[in-house]
Amino acid sequence: MAERIRALDWAAHPFGPPETWPEPLRVMVDMALASSFPTAIYWGPELRLLYNDAWAHIPEDRHPWALGRPGAEVWSDIWDVVGLQMEQVRATGRGVATFDQLLMMVRNGVPRETWWNYSLTPIRDGEGRVLGILNQGSETTRAVVAEREQRAEVERLRDYFQQAPGAVALLDGPEHVFTIANPAYLELVGRDDVIGRRVADVLPEVIDQGFVGLLDQVYRNGEPYRALGQSVLLRRHGDAEPERRVVDFVFQPIKNSIGSTTGIFVAVGDVTERALTQEALRVSEERLQLALNTSIGIGTWEWNIETGRITGDRRFAKLFGIEPERVAAGGGFESVLTYIHADDRAMVLAEVQQALSGGTPLMVEFRVVRGDGDVRWLLTQGNCIFDDRGRPIRFPGVSFDITNRKRAEEAAQEAADELRGITEAQSFLHGLAERQRALETPDAIMQMTAQELGMKLGLARVGFYRVAGEVIHLGPCWTSGSLPPLTGQWTLNAVAPLIERYRQGRTITFSDSSAEYPQTELSRISPSAIGVPLLRGGQWVATFYANADGPRAWQAEEIAFIETVVETTWDSVERADAVLALRESEAKFRAITNSIDHMVWAADAAGFVDYYNDRWYEYTGVPLGSTDGQAWAQVLHPDDQARAAAVWDHCIRTGDLYRIEYRMRHHSGAYRWALGRAQPLRDESDRIVRWFGTSTDIQDIVDAREVLARSREELEAAVRERTERLMAAEAQLRQAQKMEAVGQLTGGIAHDFNNMLAVVIGALDLLERRVAQGRSDIERYLVAARDGATRAAALTQRLLAFSRQQPLAPTALDVNDMLSGMIELLIRTLGEGVVIETQLAYQLAPVVADRNQLENVVLNLAVNGRDAMPEGGTLTIETRQVTLDGAGAESHDVAPGDYVELLIADTGIGMPGPVAARAFDPFFTTKGLGKGTGLGLSQVFGFVRQSGGQVTIESEEGVGTRVRVLLPARPEAVPAPVDAREVRELPRGCPEEIVLVVEDEERVRSFSVEALRDLGYGVLFARDGIEALRLIERGQPVSLLFSDVVMPEMSGRELAGRVRKRRPELKVLLTSGYAPDEPSGDTDEDILPKPFDVAALAVAIRAALDG
């Protein structure tokens, strides 16, 4: 094919010369030509054909004409099939594989059926586009036709086998798989589902019998195997015991054309009946011979009627217990009659007379009494022989010993009688249970049972009694009339001898109470009795009793029967008790629900309402049952239906309590407000099983709301005023405590503050002198003055933060950094008598807390430690990171996880245990009058708990106190840099951005105005809030309101609130060095702390405008 492809004139072909063919086509052609597997390539829009030598025979007479031609032209006869498949490949880009595909291919001018296995694979370019199709395959016509013929042959064999009278089967392969099994074979093995399964799987019971091994042998050596009269055990009826069958069979190997065994033909003849008959005949013959050869069981005799003498063999003599010699010599008929049982003689004589007179065969069964007194049953048979004139001349016969058979018959009769008794008992129990189910009360069940049982067993009295404490309550009782009924109550002493056995659950019987329990209450009450105790939860609660009117020997069958009846009856009694209790409960429930003013309803776990009390129907006026299920919404106002349904669905899904107000249609037609409430009922596994709810008319309440609205506003105002006074008093009390601590700080801080002021004043004084002298070396004095002022501002901020007069908020912070920044303040505060030691962890995760409050905690605890060391000592501040597991977390009352621990310990005087236990109580203090408010540690406790942590205290008198603060570690939080003041290039503005500066302090106002103008902003200013409002109300354009917080007449926050009402879009930035009022709930203005420099002002203004 390579030569043909090279020789073809491709210049005029749509493909063009081969050297211009696309790379994918050249690669696929090379691969096809090098392959020995039939391969073709369909290329281009027309799917033109290229193929290799192995494929050339497929088109037959169309080769080599087909080379380069469109597939639709080459395969016009089958293109309706393969063309569609190729279009599918090109459209989807997915290959197609088909097996034994029928193609009506024209060969030698005639359409013929051909079958093929082939695949169609897309050929793509570098961009994934399908350019052609690779086709590989082969013809399977011969295999398909052969398989068809084989199936036809198999079907013919199967038809033949189905009609065959014997059991036949065909097994395939070395695993002996059933391919054919006719009805006779299926009947023999007792299976239906065998086709396609192995013999070992279908008939596992024949494996150990060697039949599968025989099949393996036949398959292996190719030699047939035959057997006659072979026993086989087959499990023909499911799980029943295997059944023995006798079969003749042949295993005939089936071989293919080359002589290899491919299967086995099995033919089986079931000869079980024949074998059984033969076996029975053999056994019968053996038994007959054995019987005749023994001297026991059968004897022959002959009666000579003319002489009247009877003779017999030795066996006959043994049957009657007569000496053999006497029988051999013969004796009169009357002498034989003396051995026949007196009760049977008349019957024997009558049968003999009938045989003589009527000529009928004699067959009679009777008893003989031997000389030793042994009684045996005999079956005697004989035929009278008559002469020509019809006279009886002799009477030969045989006698069989049938004693064993008679005894077996008697035993069988006894068994039948016993079975009939059991059947009657079962029938009685079944009928009794049916009649008990028809009764509704326990007393009715017990009364009916007592009567029927007493009548069936012929008893004199039957009844029940219940036991309650030390009292017996006699219940239903039936009597035949021979004994009086038992009624009323007894004490337990009446049955004192029986109590312990009753409590153990043991049935009691006595045949004669006067003999067994003389001089007792029992002997007076019951002549004889059966007592069956009834237990509930292991406790004796009742007894069933049955009495005879005199002594009676109770049979085991009677006792067992009565126990069974009692067990069945007690089940019915408990069922009736439960039903009555349920009815009483339901009746009480309905009585309760119908006696209240609420509309009561209930629903199943899915929310389907299935119960309403009478009040519901009286209120709504709807027909009974019309609002069941989800139809309850129809009585609601249309505007409330969707909301009520949504709330109800939410509660059904989540188990939340149902509570909603909606308007219901009253029976008058008016809509009235109602309150709907419901809660779920849960089982032991906390699964909701029902809902119980109410709907209550609250129209009067709703009306009262409107009436009370105005007075409520007045009341709320009074409450609000009172609350504000209480809160102010509490704030003053807290502030007093905080200021107490500030007072303790004053000594050290005043020293520092004076030093800072000295630096500022000294630098300014020198600066003034240098300027007056005209000197320019003033930079170091400017730096010194700025540094002193900055340190003073920082100290002021710390004081304001501690006194809580500066707004606070939780942020991510590094505890170690915070503590490092407080050391200088602590040294000044605690004084020279206290040595501060720090042991800070090397690496510590951040926490999220209010920095100012946490600093206050440290300062509070440090001051407390100092006060506990009047003679001086050591204050240790330590940090570390700890992990609390489940037990540790539970002991600290926190969630498990990682925590940062802050430990502050002193070497002071310590506290007794009871005092330490109350250390966190509000207003509790150990300090003298006027030296403490008792709020310090309670504030520490409140802050730490609100921050998700815990604080504990350990103290020992004479040793010191250790306070541990645990705060949740937040590794994901990033603390802000400690000093972010440096800004290399200040952010600037433009004149169109107008800032309104509101400041009552002239110098601060002038500084702010001039700084903002230097930064490029347009600036307006006002001396107070009232002047600022006038500017804005006149329509003055303003981009940002920059106002001080603390001003006379109107605060900065009040000004911001009023401006926002007029111009909600206006940006606001507040500034304050002291902010006594907290922000209102509807504002969120940023605050620039005072004092501030130009850099801080530039950053804050820019951020406010861009925010």
pLDDT at 171: 92
Summarised one tens digit per residue, pLDDT across range 605-623 is: 999 998 898 889 989 999 9
Residue 975 predicted with pLDDT over 90? no
Contacts with 298 (C-beta within 8 Å, 6 or more apart), sequence order: 291, 292, 315, 398, 399, 400, 401
- The answer to whether 381 and 397 have CB atoms below 8 angstroms apart is yes
Quick one: which of 878, 876, 868, 853 has its CA closest to 940?
853
Residue 930 predicted with pLDDT over 80? no
- The answer to whether 502 and 540 have CB atoms below 8 angstroms apart is yes
Q: What is the DSSP letter of 496?
A: G
C-alpha 530/C-alpha 559 separation (Å) is: 7
Structure tokens at 348: 């024997």
Q: Which carries the bigger pLDDT value, residue 860 or residue 1039?
A: 1039
Q: What is the DSSP letter of 257?
A: T
Least confident of 161-170, 671-680, 843-852: 161-170
Q: Which carries the bigger pLDDT value, residue 279 or residue 227?
A: 227
Considering 325-334, 701-710, 1028-1037, the range whose residues carry the highest mean pLDDT is 1028-1037
Q: What is the 3-state secondary structure (H, E, C) of 724-779?
A: HHHHHHHHHHHHHHHHHHHHHHHHHHHHHHHHHHHHHHHHHHHHHHHHHCCCCCCH
Structure tokens at 434: 């049916």
Domain boundaries, the chain: 2-139, 151-277, 295-401, 416-582, 597-697, 807-968, 994-1106
- The answer to whether 302 and 396 have CB atoms below 8 angstroms apart is yes
pLDDT at 125: 86
Q: Which carries the bigger pLDDT value, residue 265 or residue 831?
A: 265
pLDDT at 598: 83
CATH topology classification for 2-139: Beta-Lactamase (3.30.450)
Q: Which residues pair with 819 in a beta bridge?
A: none
CATH topology classification for 295-401: Beta-Lactamase (3.30.450)
pLDDT at 929: 47
Q: Which carries the bigger pLDDT value, residue 728 or residue 501?
A: 501
pLDDT at 420: 65
* Fold match between domain 597-697 and domain 807-968: no
Structure tokens at 60: 């037959």
Residue 735 predicted with pLDDT over 80? no
User: Which class is 151-277 in CATH?
Assistant: alpha beta
Neighbours of 343 (CB within 10 A): 9
CATH architecture entry for 994-1106: 3-Layer(aba) Sandwich (3.40)
Confidence band (pLDDT; 50, 70, 90) for 981?
Answer: very low
Quick one: which of 696, 948, 603, 906 has its CA closest to 810?
948
Quick one: which of 856, 860, 875 has its CA closest to 960?
875
Structure tokens at 635: 């009585």
pLDDT at 408: 78
Q: Which amino acid is at 710?
A: R
Q: Which carries the bigger pLDDT value, residue 423 or residue 324?
A: 324
Cis check for the bond before 64: say yes or no (omega within 30 of 0).
yes
Residue 741 predicted with pLDDT over 90? no
Residue 293 predicted with pLDDT over 90? no
Summarised one tens digit per residue, pLDDT across range 252-277 is: 998 887 888 999 999 998 888 888 88
Got the DSSP string for 503-553? HTT--EEES-HHHHSTTSHHHHH-SEEEEEEEEETTEEEEEEEEEESS---
C-alpha 666/C-alpha 870 separation (Å) is: 79
- The answer to whether 802 and 738 have CB atoms below 8 angstroms apart is yes
C-alpha 247/C-alpha 229 separation (Å) is: 5
- Decide: pTM greater than 0.85: no
Residue 109 predicted with pLDDT over 90? no
C-alpha 446/C-alpha 434 separation (Å) is: 14
Q: What is the CATH code for 416-582? A: 3.30.450.40
C-alpha 809/C-alpha 1078 separation (Å) is: 12
C-alpha 831/C-alpha 18 separation (Å) is: 103
- The answer to whether 229 and 246 have CB atoms below 8 angstroms apart is yes
CATH superfamily membership of 807-968: Histidine kinase-like ATPase, C-terminal domain (3.30.565.10)
Contacts with 507 (C-beta within 8 Å, 6 or more apart), sequence order: 530, 531, 532, 533, 559, 563
Is 597-697 a CATH 3.30.450.20 domain? yes
Confidence band (pLDDT; 50, 70, 90) for 1074?
Answer: low
Summarised one tens digit per residue, pLDDT across range 441-494 is: 888 888 998 998 899 889 999 999 999 888 999 999 999 999 999 999 998 888
pLDDT at 649: 94
Coil/strand/helix, residue 267: strand
Q: Which residue has the tokens 């063009």?
A: 16
Residue 900 predicted with pLDDT over 90? yes
